[in-house]
Structures are given as C-alpha cells and as structure tokens.
Structure 1
Amino acid sequence: MGGRSAPDRRGHRGLVSRVRAVPGARAVSSYRREWLVKDLVAGVVLTTLLVPQGMAYAELAGLPAITGLYTTVLCLLGYAVFGPSRILVLGPDSSLGPMIAATVLPMVAAGGDPDRAVALASVLALMVAALMILASVAKLGFVADLISRPTMIGYMNGLALTILIGQLPKLLGFSVDADGLIGEAAGVVRGLADGAAVPAAAAVGIGGILVVLVLQRFLPKVPAVLVMVVLAIAATVVLGLGEHGVDLVGELPEGLPPFTVPAVRLADLPLLLGGAVGIALVSLADTISNASAFAARTGQEVRGNQEMAGVGAANLAAGLFQGFPVSTSGSRTAVAERAGARTQLTGVVGAALIVLMLVLAPGLFRNLPQPALAAVVITASLSLADVPGTVRLWRQSRTEFLLCGAAFAGVALLGVLQGIAIAVGLSVLNVFRRAWWPYRTVLGRVPDLEGYHDVRSHPRARQLPGLVIYRFDAPLFFANAKTFADEIRRLAGADPPPTWIVIAAEPMTDVDTTAADVLEDLDEELNADRVHLVFAELKDPVRRKIERYELTRTIDPAHFFPTVESAVAAYRRLTGAEWQDGDGH
C-alpha cells in the first residue's frame, strides 16, 4: 500500500546512481578504517606547508595574504568532492601567481584597491572554473599537449627568474616601482646602490632561503618551510625585528568570508578572459602531468576529463569565497604522499585546521616577517627552473634549445601572459615546421637486412636501374605539397632519368585537396617525360581519399601496390632490371 510507484523507484535509483558518480561520494563509500590515522597525520603535516605557502602565493599574486588561506580552504574542499585523484593536493601556486598579478594589477586603480583586486581575482577564478568544466565536458584534455616540453622548460625558467627578481625587494626590505623583469632588476640595483635595503630584513630573508634549501637538501623529511617560519617568528619576538624596519604580516581577519558573488564591471570581463585562458592552460598542463606522475606511483588510473572537472570545481569554490585561481601542486602532493596520505580526507583535514586557526588564533602569524614569505616564494621559484633539462636540450637538439630560449625570452622580456602565448605559439609552429619540412630520403636494399633502408645511413645500399624508392615522412597537405613536388621533379631530372618513382607512402597519413591538385599536375608532367609515379603501402583511408579526388584519372590504378616489395617485383618483371651497388656497379 505504502510502497513507491515504479516511476518513483526509477527516479530514486537514478538519483542514487548520480550521487554515487560523484568522486567524493565514491571515496566515502569505499573508505577503509585503517586509513583514518594516516590521513589525519598527513593532514596535520600538510597544513604546516599550506599556511605559509598560501599566504606567500597570495602576495605573489598581488593580493592580501589572508586570501591565500581562504583560497586554500575552499579549493581543498571543492576538489575533495569532485576530484578523482586520491591524493592530489590543490592550492595557490607559484606558477599561477605572476599570471594572476599580470592580469589583475594593471586593472586596479593607482594606489591599489585591495577589495577591487580581490573581486577581479575571484572573477578570474570563476572564469578558469568555467573553462576547465567546459574543457572537461568537451573532453579537451589533449589541449595540454599544445605546450611542448622544450617550450615549457623555457617558460618555467623565465617564470622562475621573473619571480626571483620580483621578490628581491621584499626579501631585502624595500619596494620597487617598476614593470617588467628589466625594470624590476634595474630598480633592485638602484635600491641597493641607494642603501634602501634593510639589514634586518635582508638577514631574515636570506637566512630563510638558506634554512629551507639546507633542510630540503640534507633533511628532506623535515618540514623545511615550517621550521623556517617558526624561526622567523621567534626571531621577531626575541629581537624585536618590527622595530628595526622589518615589515610583518600582522593580525589576520578572524573567521571565513561569506559566500560572495564578486561584482566587477562588464568592461573588465574581456580583459580578464585572456588571463583566464592562459591560467587554465597552465593549470591543465600541471594537472595532467601531476596526476599522471602520482597515479603511476599509486597504481591509479588517470581520468583527465574528471581531473579537469575537479580543478574546475576547486576554482569555482575559491571564486565564490573571495579566492583566486588554483592548480594542482606537485610539491604539496609529494609532502602529503610522504606523510602517508591515502585519500582526499588529508586535504579536508588541512582545510579544517586552517579554519580553526582563523577562528581561534587569527593572530598566530602576526609576527611573521614579510621577508620570510618572500623566502618561501623564492625557494618555490627555484624548483620551477630546470637547468639540467635546458643543458640536455643544448646537447641533444639545438633547434629545441632555441625554442626553449625563445620561450624564456618571451616571459622575461614581454611578461608571463605574453610568455605563455609565445610558448603555445612556438609549440604549434614547431609541429607545423616538422610537417612542412619533414624528413625525406631515397631507400635502397641492404644485404642481410630485410626491407628497404635510408641510403644516407647505408651509402652502399643497392639500387635498381631506372627505379627510385622515395619516402616522405609526413602527411601530404597544402603546406608541404610543393616541397614534395619539387623533390620528385629533382629525382625525375636525374641523368639518366628514372622510369618509376615509387613513393613509400606508409608515413603519409593524409592527403588534402591542395596536395591532390599538386599530385595531379605532377603526374601529368612526369607522364609527359615518360616517368611514372607509383605508390606503395598507401593506407586504405588515404587511398579512398585519392579515389574520391579522382586522381586515378591521371595516376594509373595499376600503379598502387600494397608493399614496396611488390612494387619492386612488378618493376623487375616489367624491365628485367638487376640490383646494383650504391656506386652503380
């Protein structure tokens, strides 16, 4: 009598299945009791890194330090619900900080308006969230591949130098009013020459860097950043650094911000969109690479589209509570992993501890020197640079080293947002260059080796008189069709001219309409000179395209062979030719 109707039961089952599809719900339903202590301990350890880094990266982005803690709390909770990885940790990031600053600060009125800067940064986070969620729905994870490894190394090297130079004034206790890497570097030199550096601030900042680097090098299991922060606060209390010209963080606002829909002008949105696209691209690349690295170590499967949705949810949560864009963090994830983290409960514990600190002890970090936060940022920036990778590029490929250098120069000279655009553009152009001028060669027969091989590697490879076997290692399309045709004409112009030019077409994955027109003209030109264009190992989809383009009107259908061997056999039956050594004997 009181049972549910069939439609009600189906609706209930549908709702349950949708809830279970949420990663956070799956994690709760499969949670094991033996994981609890490890997750709690890892959460406590992680918090010791989250707090100083969150505050430091907020100031790197040109925002109040407290917003870094708001952002950290909300993004951890958002990813815990919607993120598929068990242990990836999200938060404010050193690579995103300069991009946020480059987008937001030029839009803030002279003299600075912290509330407007926070509102703009929050809208930026919402835009990044929308882009990541749309990319997830459209399954656009491959977009992360738009930045090649060499250009990403160059971009990160430039970013590391930009962060380092930008933080030096804060580290040394003075400020610089300049834009761009060169202007800031000149300002640092002028400040030092004018005696603007505060000795006590410089001692705290440089000492902080040394403490972090030494501990990370010799005692990697010790929370280096926490030790440095505690020492800096102790030095402030004992030595009265605030009275010696050292800027301090001061009292943080108590509690958490309310749910806020940030209000900005419509005219601001187009200006924010460019920055959001760049931030989303870098965040996507970070997320996919970090997810892949840690999934390989834990035996998890990488779900790129769900990762994008999880990062989108984290940015959405941050943007609605006065936060700014976030990304995954390899360093914080590594700390959580080493501390024994098993699930996203680790991040939830970290978020809860930060909330407790803000509610019960907002003055805990009031004596933290600003140079210590600069030391946190600078040591993080050093980890962005990949000097060994740059040296390896120099040794292995000068072309890719030049790409790396161009991306570095783009960031250093033009800015971080322009730098990411240059990095993407260079990566795409490099792909285009490889297709435009692909490797191409003549093949021959090598004794005791099956198949046909590059005559450049085997100069004495044997040839058949009147036959050239030519390989073009790229799809044939509008940009390289002329290069292909010119090479064929050069081969056909030999003395004596060949009878057949066999195209070893296995690498040709496509032929577009422009290339088809070029092929038609080329074949008619060759036929007039009694030279025949022959194709071997052409893939079926490409062969069907050639038939659809009606190229078989000029290219004899009998001149398509399944293998190079069968084409060579047909030529030998037709001409009776015998193999000769590479020198013609």
Structure 2
Amino acid sequence: MGNGDFMYPSSSDRQCVTHRVAIPPPQPFFMSFKNSLKETFFPDDPLRQFKNKTPSRRFILGLQYFLPILEWAPRYSFQFLKSDLVAGITIASLAIPQGISYAKLANLPPILGLYSSFIPPLVYAMMGSSRDLAVGTVAVASLLTASMLGQEVNAAQNPTLFLHLAFTATFFAGILQASLGLLRLGFIVDFLSHATIVGFMAGAATVVILQQLKGILGLDHFTHSTDIISVLHSVFSQIHQWRWESGVLGVGFLFFLLVTRYFSKRRPKFFWISAMAPLTSVILGSLLVYLTHAEKHGVQVIGNLKKGLNPLSFGDLVFTKPYITTSLKTGIITGIIALAEGIAVGRSFAMFKHYHIDGNKEMVAIGTMNIVGSCFSCYLTTGPFSRSAVNFNAGCKTAMSNVIMAIAVMLTLLFLTPLFYYTPLVVLSAIIISAMLGLIDYEAAIHLWNVDKFDFLVCIGAYAGVVFASVEVGLVIAVAISVVRLLLFVARPRTSVLGNLPDSTIYRNVEQYPNANHVHGVLILEIDAPIYFANSSYLRERISRWIDEEEDKLKATGKTSLQYVILDMTAVGNIDTSGISMLEELKKTTERRELKLVLANPGAEVMKKLNKSKFLENIGQEWIYLTVGEAVEACNFKLHTCKPEESQPWNNV
C-alpha cells in the first residue's frame, strides 16, 4: 500500500456494528462542583483512613496525621538510633557554621543562626513526614530577608528594629505556609517551575557570592543593593581598603572547602569529609587568629556570642505601620521560596527511598515550625538541600536525626559559644561561597537549552533579573514568563493532521510519521487541548486554514475533492460555551463549503455539554464516532456508496 493510498474495509467488515459514543447520565450541579473541589483540594482523600473506624481509633489517627512522630516512634529501634545518631552529629557539624554564616548574610546577629537550628528542627521532627529533611536556615531566604527588610530599615543603624522585623516576617511566612497546607492550596507552589527555580537559585547564589567579597576583602562599608553593578562598583571603588591578610585567609579556606567537596563527590563513601569541612574551617580559622592575633591586623572576627538557649521573642513582633507592610511582603516572598525548596528537597529524597510525603502536611509542619520559631528568636527556616543531602548520605532513618542535631546545637549554645569569639568572618564568607557554588547548576541550564528553549528563556530571565536587578525582580520576571508560557499553551493549542499508518487502523500525526497515509476526501485534525474562550477563536481560524490548505493541495494534484472533516477530540478534556459556539460556527462554515463535520471520541464532559447545548441534535449523533478509525471507515463507505446528503447513519447499520 503506497503513500496516499487507503485500503477500504470489505463489505463484511462494513456490516460490523460500531459502538455509539455514550452521553454520561446527568449529574446535579452541586455534586459535580463538589467532585471538582475534592479533586482540586483533596486528591489524596485524607479522610479515607478514617472511614469505618471507631471514635477512639479516629482520634488516634487524627493525632498521627498531624503528629507523624506518634506513628513511627512506637516502632523506633536501637538500630535506627545508631544511624540517626551518626547522621544527627554529622549535620550538626555542618549546621553550626552554616547557621552562623547565614545569619550574618541576613544582617542578623550570628547567634540567631544557632537559635534557628535548635527550636525549628524539634518542631519539624514531631510534625514533618520526611525522614531525610534536615531543617535549618538557607542562604536565599537569608539574602531575601536582608535585602527586603533593608529597604525599610538599616540593619547597622537600627539593629534592634531590624531584628524584630525579621521575627515578624518569619511569623507571617509561617502563617502563610501553614494556611496553604490547611486549606489544601499546595498546588500554588507548583507555579514555580523547574526552570524558574534553576535560574532563580543560580542568580541568588551569584548575588550571595558577590556579597561575600565584603568579607573576603575585609571591607567595612559595603552596598546594601544586591545587583551585580552596585556590588562590583562597591568593591572596586574601595581598592585602597582591600586587606591582603583577609584575602589570603579567605582564598585558602575556600580552596580547602572546594577540595574536600570534590573529593567527597569522587568518593561518596567519604561524604563526611565534606560535611565536616565547614566546622573544621571554623576551628582552624579560630586557632589561627588566636595564635597570630590576626584580629589586630585587619581580620574581622565574630566576637562575643551570647551563651544560653533561645530567649522569647513573641513580644518583639511588630504589627504597627509602616513596618507591618514590609514584614508581610517579606514573609510572603521568603515563605513561598522556602516552602518550594523544602518540599522539592523532601520529595527528591523520598523518591530515592521509595516512600511518599504529603505536600500539604509538609506545609503545615514547615509553617508551624516558623510560627513557633518566630516566638523563640528564630528567623526563617526550611529544609536546605546541602544539609538534607548530608543527612541522607549519613544514613538517617527517621526525623530523629533532627532531634540529635538540635541537642548538639543546644549543647553548643549552653557551653561552647565562647569558643567562636575568634572565628574570622572571612571563614564564614568562604563557607557561604562554597555552599552557593553548588546552587549554580549549569548542567541543568544546558539540559534546558537542549530540550526546551522556552524553559531555558525562563531560566535565563530569572537569573538575569536576580543578578542585574534584585532577587524580588528576578522572581517576578521568572513567574511572569512562566505564566505567559502557560497562557500561550492554553490560547494557542496545537492542531495537527492525522494519517493512517500502513496495515493498521491507527492514525497519527503525519509530521511525526511521514509514512502515514492521507485519506482521500477526508481531512483528519487532532486538537491537543481543552476548548475554552481563550482559544476558541484561534481554533476556528486554524481549522479553516487547514481546510483551505487541504483543498488547495487536492486541487493541485487533481485528486478527489475534500468532503469530510474529522475532528479527533481525544485530548479535549473539557469545553465551555465559547468552545461550543466555535463548533457551531465551524459546522455552518463546513456546510457552506459542502463539507460534512464529523467528531471522533469526544470525552464524557464534552458529550455532556454538547448534549445540553443541543449541538448533538444539530450535528446529528450519527456523525459522532468512538474512534478515528470508525469515523474514517464510515466516511469512506458513504463516499463509495452514495452522496453524503443521501447516506444513512453508518453506525446504525
């Protein structure tokens, strides 16, 4: 059978009874609306486990739902404890220096980094459903806190107010996160696409690295702006104030951190070397400064860290104008970013270990720990990838590793804080730079370029916005580009011409399958999206152009004229009134051109609405078929037996 030929069914085949496309039974509006809401907000049916249970059992299951620790703690074993103990101590060695570093990045007192690594992990261990997430502060949220609050209050001139605003922003972030989980609105976070996150994280990492030039070069004054132009101008306008002692120390420790990371990547069994490197750097840096009195020669040190556990800060929250607006905006943006990172990291490691985490439950857990943390002198926390990766590689079994880490941090707060007096700030800068280099995922950007150029554009838009404007602008640009792309998908759905694969009843896109045969006198079009008001006009015009092109092609070749237009509606999951109006207009257009419109495989929701709108009566249900193959057979049978207007419904044979 050559290209362009079509083998018609035998007379015996044509006598087969085809299946009529069924119309679903009518469903009350409120029942349909209820089902739609349930699928949107409760796709996992969290109440399923409570069915057919006694009241006491339901109470226990309810507690376990909100406090997963009650589910796994009774089954906790000594073997689990040994694994979690090693993991907890390992991530504590990373959490202590990182916490101090990120607090400095947020323009907050360094001790807050330790406070934020004590209370929130305890809350998450009780409420979180991930076994591998290691809770703590993150660089991007710290940078956002510094830049957004810094627009309202100067941290150097009014440190107390800045600190209180940070607590307030954390409180609002926690309220937002917990509310999204309780209201089952977790799908909102999905609007941050993979390409958006790759570009945003890389841009934020670049900005954070540039900000650390202040510590590496030992500068006292630095710009509060985060864009690359302002940062580089601030760096090179103070060349005469660069301190070579600080630079040499910073480059040396950065080299040490990068070498240990490279070694651990090449030898995964030695992951603990990379995990211990930040704390080792802090210890070595502190000893070096103490022995050489480098603090007297331009090397800045942390100084006194307050000994003791987290003080209460609920009374420090600021809910008065004009600061409440800044705190609310900062809390919303940092809360969403932290939530997206925490859930993405948790899901990634859950996939590796073949277990499931509840996204909405995670939102409640992360939100609750930030609400509680804001009342105990903590700023925003989530599950950072670097710390969680160390926790995963260390062999953690449950969230108890977070408890072990919190106990280690507690002991540090009670007894060891004086030891950090001589810790050089340049070492903290080196730790941050080392961590941030891991967030610049150039391989993912290259992959986006190779697979999807538009996704690459989203990624670069986010990166450029963060680097050349600000973190907030970069995020807005990335989300805006993603939304525009989503709207383009909806407003400009793909349509394609289908042909018959040789020796089969399968019909596929002729561009994808060049050997697919065109059916004489029949144009088969596939619509790849629901038909809504946003795309109905475009589809009407595009289908008309397909018909024009097909007729011109047939006239040029002198073959049979076009008589049937089949719309394959397999991918049309829904249709609105604008879409139905489009089909009605299309039917009138085809009739004026002496063509017959045929529908193939419309879905249940589509059939329901076509029936209610009386379109089925208008087109005739005999012109609606279950498959493209049946529609083509019917059209060809009618073409070779009688004129279309005289033919009887083939699927009534």
What do the CA deviations read for 1:75-119 (whole angstroms, capped 9, x no partner)? 111111211222311110112111212222212147432221121
Instruction: List aligned pairs for 1:354-369, cutoff 5 A.
Output: 354-369=409-424
Contact persistence 1:178–1:187 (CA under 8 A): no
Q: Distance in 2 between matches of 1:14 and 1:520?
A: 53
Partner residue, 1:4 = none
The worse-fitting range, judged by mean Cα deviation, of 210-219 and 133-142 is 133-142
With the length of structure 2 as denominator, give the TM-score of the two structures. Answer: 0.83
Q: CA deviation at 1:178?
A: 4.7
Q: CA deviation at 1:368?
A: 0.5
The worse-fitting range, judged by mean Cα deviation, of 279-288 and 158-167 is 279-288
Q: Equivalent residue of 2:525, what SS?
A: strand
Matched residue count: 567
Q: 1:17 to 1:435 in 2, by over 3 A?
A: closer
> Residue type of the partner of 2:291?
V
Partner residue, 2:500 = 445
Partner residue, 1:539 = 603
Partner residue, 2:35 = none
Q: CA deviation at 1:421?
A: 2.4
Q: Equivalent residue of 1:364, what SS?
A: helix
Partner residue, 2:558 = none
Q: Distance in 1 between matches of 2:234 and 2:571?
A: 55
Q: CA deviation at 1:282?
A: 1.9
Q: Distance in 2 between matches of 1:276 and 1:95?
A: 13
Q: Distance in 1 between matches of 2:478 and 2:598?
A: 41
Partner residue, 1:507 = 571
Q: Distance in 1 between matches of 2:347 and 2:99?
A: 24
Is 1:301 equivalent to 2:365 in the alignment? no
> Residue type of the partner of 2:497?
V
Partner residue, 1:137 = 182
Contact persistence 1:250–1:367 (CA under 8 A): yes
Q: Equivalent residue of 2:139, what SS?
A: coil
Q: Distance in 2 between matches of 1:326 and 1:254?
A: 21
Is 1:157 equivalent to 2:202 in the alignment? yes
Partner residue, 2:624 = 560
Which 5+ residue runs of structure 2 have no aligned equivalent?
Answer: 1-53, 265-270, 556-560, 643-653
Contact persistence 2:88–2:403 (CA under 8 A): yes
**Please, which of 526, 529, 532 is the counterpart of residue 590 of structure 2?**
526
Q: Distance in 2 between matches of 1:428 and 1:186?
A: 34
Partner residue, 2:639 = 575
What do the CA deviations read for 1:212-250 (whole angstroms, capped 9, x no partner)? 100111143311212222221121112211011111001
Q: CA deviation at 1:344?
A: 2.4
Instruction: List aligned pairs for 1:118-129, cutoff 5 A.
Output: 118-129=163-174
Is 1:389 equivalent to 2:444 in the alignment? yes
Q: CA deviation at 1:162?
A: 0.9
With the length of structure 1 as denominator, give the TM-score of the two structures. Answer: 0.92
Q: 1:20 to 1:395 in 2, by over 3 A?
A: closer
> Residue type of the partner of 1:404?
C
Q: CA deviation at 1:437?
A: 2.3
Partner residue, 1:176 = 222
Q: Distance in 1 between matches of 2:286 and 2:462?
A: 39
Q: 1:550 to 1:267 in 2, by over 3 A?
A: farther
Q: Equivalent residue of 1:443, what SS?
A: strand
Partner residue, 1:318 = 373
Q: Distance in 2 between matches of 1:483 and 1:84?
A: 46
Q: Equivalent residue of 2:599, what SS?
A: strand
Q: 1:390 to 1:449 in 2, by over 3 A?
A: farther
**Please, which of 488, 508, 512 is the counterpart of residue 457 of structure 1?**
512
Partner residue, 2:433 = 378
Q: Distance in 1 between matches of 2:469 and 2:446?
A: 24
Which 5+ residue runs of structure 1 have no aligned equivalent?
Answer: 1-9, 579-585
**Please, which of 146, 151, 157 is the counterpart of residue 106 of structure 1?**
151
Q: CA deviation at 1:19?
A: 4.2
> Residue type of the partner of 1:529?
R
> Residue type of the partner of 1:145?
D
Q: 1:340 to 1:393 in 2, by over 3 A?
A: closer
Q: Equivalent residue of 2:118, what SS?
A: helix
Q: CA deviation at 1:363?
A: 0.7
Q: 1:162 to 1:109 in 2, by over 3 A?
A: closer
Partner residue, 1:221 = 272
Q: Distance in 2 between matches of 1:207 and 1:106?
A: 34
Contact persistence 2:257–2:278 (CA under 8 A): yes
> Residue type of the partner of 1:190?
S
Partner residue, 2:285 = 232
Q: CA deviation at 1:290?
A: 1.4
Contact persistence 1:144–1:288 (CA under 8 A): no
What do the CA deviations read for 1:484-532 (whole angstroms, capped 9, x no partner)? 1112212333245622110011111121222222222222222222222
Partner residue, 1:250 = 303
> Residue type of the partner of 1:299?
H
Q: CA deviation at 1:460?
A: 4.8
> Residue type of the partner of 2:225?
D
The worse-fitting range, judged by mean Cα deviation, of 155-164 and 546-555 is 546-555
Is 1:428 equivalent to 2:483 in the alignment? yes
Give the % identical residues. Answer: 28
Q: Distance in 1 between matches of 2:58 and 2:629?
A: 59
